[in-house]
Structure 1
Amino acid sequence: MTALTTQDHTAEKSLLIVDDDKPFQQRLARAMEKRGFETETADGLREAVAKLATRAPAFAIVDMRLEDGNGLDVIEALHQRRPDARAIILTGYGNIATAVTAVKLGAIDYLAKPADPDDIIAALERKPEEKAEPPENPMSADRVRWEHIQRVYELCDRNVSETARRLNMHRRTLQRILAKRAPR
């Protein structure tokens, strides 16, 4: 496969949306089509990887948690097939460790759900040298603590016992924290 130039890349508006929340996926697909994208959808990891095997799009919007796997695997498969593709991760369960992993695998941004289609387009089309606007609401102390726990958990390959040991925390306490949603 030949590499596309930046000009060719922005002219091609092929987009893959991978999300197991079917109503959200369909609303987002319609919104992106109205904005000029040629969209294709996938409900999960297996379906997305199968579609990538036949045609790798210029853009992708991928949910982090899929019923049959992890959205990071979709990002990795996309960039193996098409290194110049611009992909973003959407998630309702954001944390710093997974955001860093997503970027290392080739994602260009990491947005919290529900994301506005205009914000998604801005992220997809943002030039690498441009910086995103800083958040209006900085994280609370509880959120920073939760992010740190998530980071250590990811670094320990999601091993609860090892994470609890490193954080000097009881294993069941850690399990309760991990089961809850992120604080605001």
Structure 2
Amino acid sequence: MTDADTVPLVAAALPEGDRSLLLVDDDRPFLLRLSRALEQRGFAVRTAESVAEGLAAIKAEAPAFAVVDMRLADGNGLDVIESLQRRRADARVVVLTGYGNIATAVTAVKLGAIDYLAKPADADEVIAALMRAPGEKAEPPENPMSADRVRWEHIQRVYELCERNVSETARRLSMHRRTLQRILAKRAPR
């Protein structure tokens, strides 16, 4: 299949001519960097740093595209996805998260997300996910996370869910408290 063969599929799957995009993330430097990159690629970007701001932006004008962080300071990005899908069924949503797991990925897709990307995702990955034709499979990553990084991400996720309580995190992970403290003190593996 050539690139020319895929163009009609992509065009049919996209909201006709509408390049409005809502970007919802509470990591301000990441939000600004991704926003600029998406604007340079032709999107009309609006940003929100919380669930409340995202819901208000959708109420004002439902965008054709959205990129939503799963975990936000005031709640869950799934609420934003659900609201957008109610207001605009043809909207294409990509979920970003630093704490991915299968259950949340399945829930996000059931609510209408078309893809689920792990942070840090760059603008090209986000656009590829937004523009992918229905049924088209994503390319496998060239540099996937190492097993050590996946383990570290899981430990960080549980630590955050336990409200940064080392003892509770160690108990839930069936790990000695001192071992966990040493892991938390180190930098993230590549």
CA distance in 2, matches of 1:113, 1:29: 15
Q: CA deviation at 1:135?
A: 2.8
Q: Give the ranges of 4+ consecutive aligned residues of structure 1 lying more than 3 Å apart after TM superposition.
A: 5-8, 136-149, 181-184
Question: Size of the alignment, in residue pairs?
Answer: 172
- Structure 1 segments unaligned to the other structure (5+ residues): none
Of stretches 140-149 and 45-54 in structure 1, the one that deviates more from structure 2 is 140-149
Q: CA deviation at 1:43?
A: 1.0
Name the SS of the counterpart of 1:12 in structure 2.
coil
State the TM-score, normalizing by the size of structure 1.
Answer: 0.72
Name the SS of the counterpart of 1:48 in structure 2.
helix
Inter-CA distance 145–6: structure 2 relative to 1 (3 Å threshold): same
User: Any idea what the Cα deviations from partners look like across 1:26-52, whole Å, max 9, x if unmatched?
Assistant: 221111111111111111000111111
- Structure 2 segments unaligned to the other structure (5+ residues): 1-10, 163-170
1:3-152 → structure 2 map (5 Å cutoff):
6=12, 9-91=15-97, 93-97=98-102, 98-137=104-143
User: Any idea what the Cα deviations from partners look like across 1:78-105, whole Å, max 9, x if unmatched?
Assistant: 11111110010111x3333211211111
Identity of aligned residues (%): 64
CA distance in 2, matches of 1:58, 1:148: 33
The amino acid across from 2:70 in the alignment is M
User: Any idea what the Cα deviations from partners look like across 1:3-28, whole Å, max 9, x if unmatched?
Assistant: xx947714100000101112221221
The amino acid across from 2:125 in the alignment is D
Inter-CA distance 58–96: structure 2 relative to 1 (3 Å threshold): same
Q: Check conservation: 1:96, 1:147, Cα contact below 8 A.
A: no
Q: Check conservation: 1:90, 1:112, Cα contact below 8 A.
A: yes
CA distance in 2, matches of 1:8, 1:99: 22
